Structure 1
Amino acid sequence: MMEINKKSPIPIYFQLKQIILNRIKKGEWLPDSPISSERELSEMFGVSRMTIRQALNELVSEGILYREKGKGTFVREQRIEQSDAMSFTEAALNQGLEACNIVKNFEIEVADMSVMERLGLDNYEDVYYIQRFRTIEKMIIGVEEMYIPVKYIGNIKKDDFKGSVYKLLKDKYDYSIDHVKTTLEAVITGPDELKLFNLKEPAPILKVTAVHVTDKGLNLYYEESLYRSDKYVFNVNIYRR
């Protein structure tokens, strides 16, 4: 068991936070299960309940834990929260989650009418079709299909898409994504999604369709994705014009 180092310059409450997070990551405290009480934690680590409460309050505000009046403090089921033009990988890293992209399909095909219209293409042009499974902590929570015109990125490899697409496009081609034209809708899982997401019965999932636009106004690529709604939250700012 990790111990509190009272001689360390690192605040005691922060050390305690890291110990709790480590226990959750190791599976010692499972989602929706209670953690030890403030009194138990105080006795366990030899620190005041005020310090314990400070650590727990921060973990509650960060969405790691939640409280139920009269019952205690529980581990919250972790969901990735994505906001605005932030990539999935960036969002996961910001929350301290282990994200991975599994590239299942990578090929060149001729754009269909839907892709042509969304990307503003004049002809039936070649596009890269990339299908990726999105995982958090080794669990598949989403499947993404992307269509990127070959003329915009030239020669590229399958393995290039294992990381953040935004970072890839910026580092290799100097494209900066400025905004994303997005449509969100709830749909019910079909047989393929039930198997992919390891669900026992049909459930609502989130369908995302999006055109990613550069700072120069170029519709760079089109995306269609499905995400488990119990594992993924998409935050949107809506302004009244």
Structure 2
Amino acid sequence: MIDKQSPIPMYYQLEQLIREEISTGKRELGTAIPSERELSDKYGVSRMTVRQAVNNLVAEGLLTRKKGRGTFVEAPKVEMPLMKLTSFSEDMRQRGMEPGAEVVSFESIHIGPKEAEALHVEEGTEGYQLARVRTADGEPMAYEVVTVVKEMFPQLEYADHGGSFYAHAEEQGIQITGAYQTLEPVLVPKKVAQLLTIKKGDPTLLLTRVSYVGQNKPFEHVKSYYRGDRYTFTTEMQR
């Protein structure tokens, strides 16, 4: 309960109570919390105090407001650091989650102009393109499209396309040494929204990456749409 004699602000006490209910599973993901009025009556605090506590938890990502429906418990966001090159599978396992992949398509292609420029090959060069939905504990997290030059990675045709792409490449003796990537917020296309089980127009983070082997030889071109409601990207900077 709220201790009104405590020097700890009442809004913060309420935050902690709600946070504890979420962490212990008393309030499950996707379920609505009581209204401001109900919380105000239950804990004997003003609605302004309730609103401040809820606002802080929304800003933190533990709660989300849905217009006309109320406030719901939100799945915590996955933090992805931008200073280290890791695969999706490695990222998820480091967080205690089971990575997975649902293959949308795999085909031989003639590489298009943008990918050809990034891979330093001529437009029309033969390649492979793999499109997958990446999952964590069975939940769709990202949609990625990987393009490689067929001559450089012919084994991809026989790979387990549901596994880690980096791990398979390294098993074939391909040593990935680094990458260049860009990150930008975009509105999710309809097809991608359906695959990620979110709404068309919802915010997503588009990551475009070119990975290198050896002395900066381009190896792969990847476009990944990450769910904006499940991801936050972090970087460490020094002055």
TM-score of the pair, normalised by structure 1: 0.65
* Contact 2:143–2:192 (CA under 8 A) maintained in structure 1: no
Amino acid paired to 2:76: Q
* Contact 2:189–2:200 (CA under 8 A) maintained in structure 1: no
**Counterparts in 2 of 1:92-241, with a 5 A limit?**
92-122=92-122, 124-157=124-157, 159-172=159-172, 174-200=173-199, 202-237=201-236
Structure 1: stretches of 5+ with no match in the other structure: 1-19, 34-62, 67-74
Task: Give the percent of matched residue pairs that are identical in Structure 1 and Structure 2.
Answer: 23
Helix, strand or coil at the partner of 2:79: strand
Deviations 1:62-117 (A, max 9, x none): x9x99xxxxxxxx8723333333111110000000111011111111101111111
* 1:86 and 2:52 aligned: no
Structure 2: stretches of 5+ with no match in the other structure: 1-19, 32-59, 64-72
Determine the C-alpha separation between the residues in 2 that align with 1:190 and 1:223. 17
Deviations 1:13-71 (A, max 9, x none): xxxxxxx9xx97xx6652488xxxxxxxxxxxxxxxxxxxxxxxxxxxxx9x99xxxxx
More displaced 10-residue stretch of structure 1: 98-107 or 187-196: 187-196
- Alpha-carbon distance change, 158 to 231 in structure 1, aligned in 2, over 3 angstroms: farther
- Alpha-carbon distance change, 28 to 227 in structure 1, aligned in 2, over 3 angstroms: same
* Contact 1:181–1:210 (CA under 8 A) maintained in structure 2: yes
Query: How many residues are matched?
Result: 181
Shift of 1:140: 1.1
Shift of 1:157: 3.3
Helix, strand or coil at the partner of 2:201: coil
Determine the C-alpha separation between the residues in 1 that align with 2:200 and 2:109. 34
Root-mean-square deviation (Å): 3.1
Determine the C-alpha separation between the residues in 1 that align with 2:199 and 2:127. 36
Helix, strand or coil at the partner of 1:107: strand
* Contact 2:143–2:196 (CA under 8 A) maintained in structure 1: no
Determine the C-alpha separation between the residues in 1 that align with 2:204 and 2:90. 22
Helix, strand or coil at the partner of 1:162: coil
Q: Which residue of 2 aligns with 1:16?
A: none
* Contact 1:188–1:205 (CA under 8 A) maintained in structure 2: yes
Amino acid paired to 2:104: K
Shift of 1:142: 1.1
- Alpha-carbon distance change, 106 to 30 in structure 1, aligned in 2, over 3 angstroms: same
Helix, strand or coil at the partner of 1:167: helix
Determine the C-alpha separation between the residues in 2 that align with 1:80 and 1:165. 20
- Alpha-carbon distance change, 126 to 137 in structure 1, aligned in 2, over 3 angstroms: same
